[in-house]
A and B are shown apart, each in its own frame.
Chain A
Amino acid sequence: MREPPQLINRYKWYEILGIYAGIAVFLTFVLAPFVEGFLVSLKPLSQLFSSPYRFIPENGSFEAYYTMWDHVPGFARYIVNSFVISGAATVIVLILVVPAAYAFARFEFRGAGLLLGAFLAVNMFSGAVLLIPLFRLMRSLGVLNTYFAMIVPGVAFLIPSAIWLLRTYMMRIPRELDEAAFVDGASHFYTLRRVILPIAKPGIVVVAITTFIGAYAQQFIYALTFNSKTEYAPLPVGLFAYFGRQEVVWNELMAAAFVGIAPAMIVIFFLQRYLVSGLTAGAVKQ
């Protein structure tokens, strides 16, 4: 038998109606572009400009998903580039942020509050505002048109939010664990490695996911400005290849967009499952 919901979760029929109507409005705005994009990818190009416009494709096929590879031969490379850039950025951010967040969470040092405030302030600028000075910097360093030029600014702008996230998580770990390790003779690094890291694993996964997504979303702007070599271009820039001289190959462009997102989605899907199990299994007992 189905259990009746808890008293606080019981709603009148019109309340339920209102809730679902609200959800529907927002879901429409979020999902409609995806649905439309997917439908476009199924249509033959000729049908796209027919009038009256029809949303449901007639004799739709997945043909665009095959032809896109021929039309832009470097497309696989773009996906790999995207992964290399975002993956490298994530790894570098984690290496830098884990000890930094531990220091901010545990040690009292002069300027800690000021530094954290500065990180927050940096977060308010997007990298885009600083593109011109960054470009000049990259040019004088002679690193334009390299992976480096796309990874390093991304890392720089992802570090602040990662530190804030992980610091908050680490502050929830009882200080007595550090003290117990200290009494037993452990150094700060030993404590970090054997005690804090394993307990903070779910928090680190959260940071890894947000950093990866952030890097994935952010790379477009750096790639566009700091890189003009096609073979280094990441996915969002690579999509421009479907903008031909005469016409835009919309159906293939949409297909490419979905194919390009897919690997990232899969990675995040697995990380997220791990994250949930990590949160429930390794809960810190006070």
Chain B
Amino acid sequence: MGQLYLNKVQKFYGDFEVIKGVQLDVKDGEFIVFVGPSGCGKSTLLRMIAGLDATSGGDIVIDGIRVNDLPPVKRGIAMVFQSYALYPHMSVFENIAFPLRVEKMAEDKIKAKVEHAARILHLEQRLEQKPGMLSGGQRQRVAIGRAIVREPKIFLFDEPLSNLDAALRADMRIELAKLHRQLKATMIYVTHDQVEAMTMADRIVVLNGGHIAQCGAPLELYHKPANLFVAGFIGNPKMNMLPVTCKGTSAEGVLIDYQGQTATLPVDGTRAKAGETLTLGIRPEHLLLDTGDLNVTVVPTVIERLGAQTVAYASLDGKAENFCAMLPGTIGIRPEQPLPLGIKAADCHLFDADGQAFERRVSLTDIDLNLLGTTAA
């Protein structure tokens, strides 16, 4: 079992509150990813769960036991560090065996366990080598091996792939996902890379300034971001934001006005008041080349052709903020030539003045069948 419950967890450095009452319930076997910009507290939170940093307030509960005052080894966790933290003077075998030697386990048992871990991680041929002779990906696997042999309830990963190059990172992502399925253990994974978060997580926890901005399945975060922060953070390139005025609400949604054009956005607008200034969000990949419910004309300044797509960066109404459109790869557009784009009302996100989203009327079960079981959180 590997169930984790964080109850109003807080962390102070002096008077500065780094973690502001985080509340989170992790089910056994879940793959949870903490994402957020640097300095949002995601690594600190992980280190608090690990027991490397003390907790200033609240409870960390693993399998029903409050572990705040227990050392890491008694919490039933294992951690994989960003720099791998392999012992350079020990062979791969000894590195993986380290936690077992600390436990003073019998030699034959150690051998069996290390060999089992090495088989899972395809390290059988490397057991006698020193970490210095291994490639980045192999070192990463040794670090994971050291975590596996302890058979922890919860695996903690602190940006484990950030030292690898892009190709290897993609491979390791797949291997980690496989490993998770194979071990069926609870895993908590910290990253600043949203691709890693989107591809591996059962649930993503987006942290911002020490509290949870939103917690949900990857596609839930993509289609129903709860606030401006999550909307801007998840998705690449970033969501475009347009200032609009609320003209009234109806059963169909909220009627908005953008520079004289009006449209009804299908969102739950019970909170919206007429005359309020709201923010409309539209993802670059949802912009259309023909007319939509709203139409804007932008002048691209930079065009990036990625092959499969073309990304056009433009300034809107002479403002500095880049307006970004992701268009088909073969489209014939040029810089400095006006580009008319359409926006479908159904693709729009709408946020109030505080940055909180009006819930979109999108049925997530249409998008991702997995969500049928896990939306509860």
Which positions in A face B, CB cutoff 8 Å?
Answer: 174, 176-177, 179-186, 190, 194-195, 198-199, 282-286
Contact = CB atoms under 8 A, between A and B. Distances in A.
A183 B51 contact: yes
Given A184-B150, A185-B99, A174 B83 contact: yes
Given A182-B52, A182-B72, A176 B83 contact: yes
A285 B83 CA distance: 9
Nearest to B101: A194
Nearest to A179: B52
Nearest to A174: B83
Interface string B196-215: 00000000000000000000
10 closest residue pairs by CB, A with B: A185-B73, A184-B99, A180-B85, A176-B85, A198-B89, A183-B72, A185-B102, A176-B81, A183-B79, A186-B102
Interface of B: 50-52, 71-73, 77-79, 81-83, 85-89, 98-99, 101-103, 131-132, 146, 150
A174 B86 CA distance: 10
Given A179-B52, A184-B146, A195 B72 contact: no
Given A185-B73, A186-B102, A180 B79 contact: yes
A174 B103 contact: no
11 contacts: A176-B81, A182-B52, A182-B71, A183-B73, A183-B79, A184-B102, A185-B73, A185-B99, A194-B87, A198-B89, A199-B88
Contacts of B146: 180, 184
A183 B78 contact: yes
Nearest to A186: B102
B31 to A, nearest CB: 20
Contacts of B85: 174, 176-177, 179-180
Q: Is the interface of A mostly helix, strand, loop or mixed?
A: helix
Contacts of B73: 183-185
A84 B85 CA distance: 41
Given A183-B52, A184-B73, A185-B102, A285 B81 contact: no
Nearest to B79: A183
Contacts of B78: 183-184
Given A194-B87, A199-B89, 9 more contacts: A174-B83, A179-B52, A179-B81, A181-B102, A184-B99, A184-B150, A185-B72, A185-B99, A190-B102
A106 to B, nearest CB: 13
A177 B146 CA distance: 13
A282 B79 contact: no
Contacts of A190: 102
Contacts of B52: 179, 182-183
Contacts of B99: 184-185
Q: Which among B71, B82, B83, B150 has the greatest number of chain A C-beta atoms within 10 A?
A: B83
Contacts of A174: 83, 85
Contacts of B131: 285
Given A183-B51, A184-B73, A184-B102, A282 B81 contact: no
A181 B89 contact: no
Q: Which among A190, A199, A285, A286 has the greatest number of chain B C-beta atoms within 10 A?
A: A285
A286 B99 CA distance: 21
A282 B88 contact: yes
Nearest to A199: B89
A190 B87 CA distance: 14
A231 to B, nearest CB: 44
B207 to A, nearest CB: 21
Contacts of A195: 87
A282 B90 CA distance: 10
B4 to A, nearest CB: 16
A226 B10 CA distance: 61
Contacts of B102: 181, 184-186, 190
A184 B98 contact: yes
A190 B101 CA distance: 11
A176 B79 CA distance: 11
Contacts of A176: 81-83, 85
Contact of B88 (A179, A182, A185, A285): A285
A183 B77 contact: yes
Q: Which among A174, A179, A180, A195 has the greatest number of chain B C-beta atoms within 10 A?
A: A180
Q: Which among A179, A184, A185, A286 has the greatest number of chain B C-beta atoms within 10 A?
A: A184
Nearest to B139: A285
Nearest to B51: A183
Contacts of A177: 85, 87
A183 B50 contact: yes
